């Protein structure tokens, strides 16, 4: 028994047994029929039964499924920054978070195509309460972040998570993906929660935290979707927060969001990898000797990278112009793109509800407003 057993993905020695338990599951059939529509069920089942490693499962099945998702629900994925990374090197990817499964899956597809080390990825255990999803997550090299704990349990859980991440990065040469904050960004404001960095810091074996962060090679990741496939689903929580009400999730809400993110229309998608943080950490170390201030400064550096590198789409400029009743960016979108966006707005929310209108538009407009805070970022 390892102390990480409750949170870790499957070892390669466990992969085949796990597959055999779910090979006949209706959700596996749905996934494989979507991915390989031309194959008889017995063909992909036989291929699955012969799979004995996480890498084989990811490359032969998950990667193929993602290609199908991109083909049917997007106008393509573009990337930038991957050429800066070195082969056979583990990185700590800290990413903005728009979609439960796609953010990390698309990053891994790109890492695979660039022959770079793929990630073990954090996922909230609240998202994999269904046994099939938990098996699929562990087959896809996801490790669990435990949610809904008491403060004391949370401290223990965070320490364990930090140790596990450090072990992956420093001893197993395995890259790691983690979102910059708990939960997806629902209002378009990407901001790193210092608590995520404090959790990572719990495993520091260096006198100065910045030396540890330099050692684990932090890479900020900025992912943007032209259309957020779950934009309308994010509205109830945004409206509750705007009315200062406590939001309680519906049963199966996470699962519906998860499926909508995969199958909903996204149009274009872009992933940018920022520079590996290095001299920035030296500056923080020189300017702050208090670890809390260092963490705050590091969160700001990650935010600067994510926001300035965020790829803005016509949908963002259209929403910004509508919100601000201007045509500042009208040269960056066509009339057709604007009418398509307005149709989406009318179809997906109650246009007689000004708060709903405002929240929906802000989701798309805020990345423009945030980027404007940086000189020459747009």
Q: What is the pLDDT of residues 264-303, one digit of tens each?
A: 889 999 999 999 999 999 999 999 999 999 999 999 999 9
Q: What confidence score (pLDDT) does residue 350 get? A: 82
State pLDDT tens for residues 221-253.
Answer: 999 999 998 886 776 665 556 667 665 666 665
Residue 271: strand pairing partners: 79, 223
If you average pLDDT over residues 35-50, what whole number do you get?
A: 97
Closest CA to 271 of 106, 69, 120: 106
Question: What is the average pLDDT score of the chain?
Answer: 92
Q: What pLDDT is stored for residue 263 in this prediction?
A: 81
Alpha carbon distances (Å) from 353 to 310, 319, 360, 361: 30, 17, 11, 12
Strands (E) in the chain, as ranges, are: 74-80, 92-95, 119-124, 142-145, 175-179, 218-225, 267-273
pLDDT, tens digit, for every residue of 52-81? Answer: 999 999 999 999 999 999 999 999 999 999
């Amino acid at each position: 028994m390892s102390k990480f057993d409750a949170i870790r993905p499957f070892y390669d020695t466990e992969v085949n047994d796990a597959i055999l338990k779910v090979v006949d599951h209706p959700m596996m059939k749905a996934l494989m029929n979507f991915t390989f529509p031309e194959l008889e069920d017995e063909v992909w089942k036989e291929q699955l039964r012969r799979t004995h490693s996480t890498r084989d499962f990811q490359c032969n099945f998950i990667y193929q499924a993602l290609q199908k998702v991109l083909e049917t629900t997007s106008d393509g994925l573009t990337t930038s920054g991957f050429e800066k990374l070195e082969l056979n090197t583990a990185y700590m990817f800290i990413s903005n978070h728009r979609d439960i499964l796609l953010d990390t899956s698309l990053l891994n597809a790109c890492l695979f195509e660039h022959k770079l080390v793929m990630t073990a990825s954090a996922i909230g255990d609240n998202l994999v309460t269904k046994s099939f999803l938990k098996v699929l997550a562990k087959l896809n090299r996801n490790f669990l972040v435990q949610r809904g704990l008491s403060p004391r349990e949370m401290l223990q859980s965070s320490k364990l998570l930090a140790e596990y991440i450090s072990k992956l990065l420093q001893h197993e040469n395995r890259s790691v993906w983690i979102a910059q904050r708990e939960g997806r960004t629902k209002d378009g404001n990407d901001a790193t929660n210092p608590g995520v960095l404090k959790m990572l810091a719990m495993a520091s074996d260096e006198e100065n935290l910045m030396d540890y962060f330099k050692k684990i090679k932090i890479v900020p990741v900025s992912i943007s979707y032209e259309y957020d496939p779950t934009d309308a689903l994010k509205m109830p929580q945004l409206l509750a927060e705007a009315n200062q009400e406590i939001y309680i999730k519906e049963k199966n809400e996470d699962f519906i969001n998860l499926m909508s993110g995969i199958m909903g229309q996204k149009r274009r998608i872009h992933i940018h990898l920022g520079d590996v943080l290095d001299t920035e950490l030296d500056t923080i170390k020189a300017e702050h000797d208090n670890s809390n201030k260092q963490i705050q400064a590091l969160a700001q550096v990650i935010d600067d990278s994510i926001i300035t590198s965020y790829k803005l789409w016509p949908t963002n400029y259209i929403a910004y112009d509508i919100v601000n009743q201007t045509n500042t960016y009208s040269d960056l979108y066509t009339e057709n793109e604007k009418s398509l966006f307005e149709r989406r707005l009318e179809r997906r929310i109650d246009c007689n509800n000004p708060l709903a209108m405002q929240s929906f538009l802000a989701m798309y407009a805020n990345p423009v407003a945030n980027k404007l805070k940086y000189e020459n970022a747009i």
